[in-house]
């Protein structure tokens, strides 16, 4: 199946679903394939696995070559919706049609995990519509190797556009300027013409103020985004109107303003001040329009690459790893969280305050860079693999289905106990009901099994809440698809469960007044 759209450089994202054993692919420009495959549970990924860049082909010798396996296996279970993001740069040609630049996948992200970066393609991959490379062509979906479903297909064409920079001048002030008010009364050190915005025009790059004024020629009326980057303070005016006010920023956190620009010349003024030496110096300004590549109005030297942050990670070996930490969950920092890493490479995060499962994932264990790098200001650990973020609700409820429980009056955490294999069992008292929770990875490594033991000596009615999402549907035989098939829950006794509505969500629950009960389920992703 071919798109009507013909593309060059493109950002493409979509959801896809594969049944067990299925195989498909997406061909950028109908020539460069990113593989779609049921790779759930596979070990070290190969060039035919999900997210791989399929190899090229020598017909004479029937040989594959130059295939690129994904860095990690980031696949979810068959029958679940998965998400793929592709950043593609098309080949470029001169006026005589000779290729001057090869095609490249600058980035591919599968289910939130980056699996490729900057993969250059010397030619088309196997199964291409043609051996001849072109500047523009449709994308193609492979549909002859089993069923496949797609939804939410989105794209952005990143076409080049022209906006010539004219009459650029600069003013340089030397001194410790904390703000632009101080710069306004300072003595001018030097001024002159400039080819591009460039902080190296300053003699002292750590004690300086720079003001650049120039014109930009717009050839197509549209909304444009101005992207201002710097270490220190900066501001921007366009046609005499301030569009980015003075603000201190670092290079990885740009200021962006959108303005409508008609055809013709427009004047801008970009100002920068810096009065410290403990960070590098940078001064940059770019212009971008919808479906267009950003145009840098600065020199390459004026925008050095940010200092790389080293990865500090915690792994697992022959026994489980337990990590107490702060943890970011649904835009909220949780302060009493334990991460449990399993040697099988299936891990989970658990909120000790709420007795709630926060996240499950597969792959590497924990990124603790934000806990230990330099000042460790964010103080949070994070998951390193592909997985599912869960609502984070306590499974037990009395008197309704509350989102949170008061750990002072309702739910009291009573610690955890380690088994001989170092797997934790968490213990709670919820009013008159006591319960424990433990987790183990299924022998296949493809599911997390949850065991909740409940002691209810007074025989009061309670609700056990197993899942919550926008949608929950029964797939039969005790299998439930949760939240639009983001993950599956399997139970052994489905007759006891029902799906109810609560605060605009669906919840999978059962109600009981038993005095002694053990509940088991499996989360499959």
Residues with Cβ within 8 Å of residue 390, at least 6 apart in sequence: 356, 357, 358, 359, 360
Residue 94 reports pLDDT greater than 70:
yes
| Separation between Cα atoms, residue 38 and residue 42, nearest integer Å | 9
Domain boundary among 157, 188, 219: 157
pLDDT, tens digit, 9 for 90 and up, residues 235-286? 999 999 999 999 998 877 899 999 999 999 999 999 999 999 988 899 999 9
Domain membership of residue 1 (yes or no) is no
Domain membership of residue 308 (yes or no) is no
Asked if residue 342 and residue 429 are part of one domain, the reply reads yes
Contact (CB, 8 A) for 219 and 163: yes
Residues with Cβ within 8 Å of residue 110, at least 6 apart in sequence: 50, 51, 70, 74, 75, 82, 83, 84, 85, 386
Domain membership of residue 3 (yes or no) is no
Residue 405 reports pLDDT greater than 80:
no
Count of structural domains, the chain: 3
What does 18-75 look like in DSSP terms, one character per residue?
Answer: --TT-EEEEEETTTEEEEEE--TT-SS--TTSTT-B--EEETTTTEEES-B--SS---
Q: Is the dihedral of CA 48, 53, 54, 57 positive or negative?
A: negative
- Output the pTM of the full model: 0.87
Asked if residue 76 and residue 99 are part of one domain, the reply reads yes
Helix, strand, coil % over all residues of the chain, rounded to 5: 5, 55, 45
% the chain with pLDDT above 90: 86
Strand 321-329 relative to strand 380-383, pairing? parallel
184-193 average pLDDT score: 95
Residue 207 reports pLDDT greater than 90:
yes
| Separation between Cα atoms, residue 521 and residue 525, nearest integer Å | 13
Name the β-bridge partners of 491. 521
Domain membership of residue 324 (yes or no) is yes
Query: What CA–CA distances, in Å, run from 408 to 111, 355, 384, 412, 453?
Result: 38, 13, 33, 7, 22
Domain boundary among 296, 326, 349: 296
Residue 404 reports pLDDT greater than 90:
no
Half-sphere exposure of 258 (CA within 13 A, CB side): 4
Q: How confident is the model at residue 143 (pLDDT cuts 50, 70, 90)?
A: confident
| Separation between Cα atoms, residue 267 and residue 153, nearest integer Å | 38
What does 151-200 look like in DSSP terms, one character per residue?
Answer: EEEEEEE-B-----EEEEEEEEEES--SSHHHHHTSPP-EEEE-SSB-GG
Domain membership of residue 475 (yes or no) is yes
Asked if residue 416 and residue 321 are part of one domain, the reply reads yes
Residue 406 reports pLDDT greater than 80:
no
pLDDT, tens digit, 9 for 90 and up, residues 173-183? 999 998 899 99
Domain membership of residue 307 (yes or no) is no
Domain residue limits at 220: 165-296
Q: Which of 154-168, 396-410, 483-497 is predicted least confidently?
A: 396-410
Q: How confident is the model at residue 292 (pLDDT cuts 50, 70, 90)?
A: confident
Helix, strand, or coil here: 371? helix
181-206 average pLDDT score: 96
How high is the pLDDT of residue 132?
96
- CATH code for the domain of 472: 2.70.98
Containing 372, the helix (H) or strand (E) segment is: helix 369-372
Asked if residue 277 and residue 191 are part of one domain, the reply reads yes
Asked if residue 193 and residue 138 are part of one domain, the reply reads no
Asked if residue 271 and residue 353 are part of one domain, the reply reads no
pLDDT, tens digit, 9 for 90 and up, residues 151-163? 999 999 998 889 9
| Average model confidence (pLDDT) across the chain | 94
Asked if residue 104 and residue 14 are part of one domain, the reply reads yes
Asked if residue 184 and residue 144 are part of one domain, the reply reads no
Domain membership of residue 4 (yes or no) is no
Select from 410, 450, 451, 401 the least CA-distant residue to 428. Answer: 410
Domain membership of residue 462 (yes or no) is yes
In b/e form, how buried is each residue of 7-39, taking b as 16+ CB within 10 angstroms? bbbbbbebbbbbeeebbbbbbbbbbbbbbbbbb
Residue 27 reports pLDDT greater than 70:
yes
Terminal Cα distance for the chain, rounded: 29
Asked if residue 133 and residue 266 are part of one domain, the reply reads no
Q: How confident is the model at residue 222 (pLDDT cuts 50, 70, 90)?
A: very high
Q: How confident is the model at residue 407 (pLDDT cuts 50, 70, 90)?
A: low
Domain boundary among 89, 123, 157: 157
Q: How confident is the model at residue 511 (pLDDT cuts 50, 70, 90)?
A: very high
- CATH code for the domain of 81: 2.60.120.560
- CATH code for the domain of 251: 2.60.120.380
Asked if residue 190 and residue 143 are part of one domain, the reply reads no
Contact (CB, 8 A) for 327 and 339: yes
Asked if residue 140 and residue 40 are part of one domain, the reply reads yes
Asked if residue 199 and residue 135 are part of one domain, the reply reads no
Q: In the chain, how many H helices and how many E strands? A: 2, 42
pLDDT, tens digit, 9 for 90 and up, residues 348-397? 999 999 999 999 999 999 999 999 998 888 899 999 999 999 999 999 99
């Amino acid at each position: 199946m071919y798109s009507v759209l013909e593309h060059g450089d493109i950002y493409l994202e979509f959801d896809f679903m594969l049944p067990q054993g299925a195989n498909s692919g997406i061909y950028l420009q109908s020539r460069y394939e990113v593989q779609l495959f049921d790779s759930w549970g596979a070990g070290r990924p190969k060039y035919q696995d999900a997210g791989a860049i399929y190899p090229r082909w020598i017909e004479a010798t029937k040989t594959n070559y130059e295939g690129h396996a994904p860095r990690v296996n980031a696949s979810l279970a068959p029958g679940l919706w998965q998400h793929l993001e592709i950043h593609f740069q098309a080949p470029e040609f001169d006026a005589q049609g000779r290729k001057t630049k090869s095609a490249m996948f600058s980035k591919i992200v599968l289910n939130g995990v980056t699996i490729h970066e900057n993969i250059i393609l010397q030619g088309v991959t196997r199964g291409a519509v043609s051996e001849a490379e072109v500047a523009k062509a449709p994308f193609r979906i492979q549909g002859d190797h089993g069923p496949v479903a797609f939804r939410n297909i989105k794209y952005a064409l990143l076409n080049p556009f022209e906006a010539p920079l004219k009459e650029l001048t600069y003013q340089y002030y030397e001194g410790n300027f904390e703000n632009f008010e101080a710069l306004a009364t300072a003595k001018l050190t030097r001024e002159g013409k400039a080819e591009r915005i460039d902080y190296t025009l300053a003699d002292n790059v750590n004690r300086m103020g720079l003001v650049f004024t120039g014109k930009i020629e717009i050839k197509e009326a549209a909304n444009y985004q101005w992207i201002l980057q710097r270490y220190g303070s900066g501001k921007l005016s366009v046609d005499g109107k301030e569009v980015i006010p003075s603000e201190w920023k670092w290079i990885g956190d740009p200021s962006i303003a959108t303005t409508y620009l008609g055809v013709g010349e427009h004047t801008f003024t970009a100002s920068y001040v810096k009065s410290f030496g403990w960070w590098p110096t940078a001064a940059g300004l770019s212009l971008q329009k919808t479906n267009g590549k950003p145009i840098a109005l600065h020199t390459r030297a004026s925008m050095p690459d940010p200092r790389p942050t080293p990865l500090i990670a915690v792994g697992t070996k022959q026994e489980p790893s337990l990590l107490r930490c702060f943890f970011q969950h649904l835009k909220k920092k949780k302060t009493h969280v334990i991460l449990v890493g399993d040697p099988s490479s299936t891990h989970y995060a658990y909120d000790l305050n709420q007795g709630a499962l926060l996240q499950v994932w597969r792959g590497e264990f924990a990124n603790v860079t934000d806990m230990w790098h330099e000042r460790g200001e964010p103080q949070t650990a994070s998951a390193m693999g592909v997985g599912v973020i869960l609502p984070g609700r306590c499974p037990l409820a009395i008197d309704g289905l509350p989102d949170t429980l008061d750990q002072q009056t309702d739910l009291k955490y009573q610690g955890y106990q380690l088994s001989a294999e170092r797997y934790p069992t968490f213990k709670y008292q919820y009013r008159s009901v006591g319960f424990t929770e433990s987790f183990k990875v299924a022998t296949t490594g493809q599911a997390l099994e949850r065991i909740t033991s409940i002691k209810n000596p007074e025989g009061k009615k309670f609700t056990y809440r197993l899942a919550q999402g926008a949608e929950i549907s029964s797939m039969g035989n005790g299998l439930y698809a949760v939240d639009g098939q983001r993950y599956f829950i399997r139970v052994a006794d489905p007759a006891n469960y029902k799906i109810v509505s609560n605060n605009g969500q669906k919840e999978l629950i059962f109600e009981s007044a038993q005095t002694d009960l053990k509940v088991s389920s499996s989360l499959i992703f």
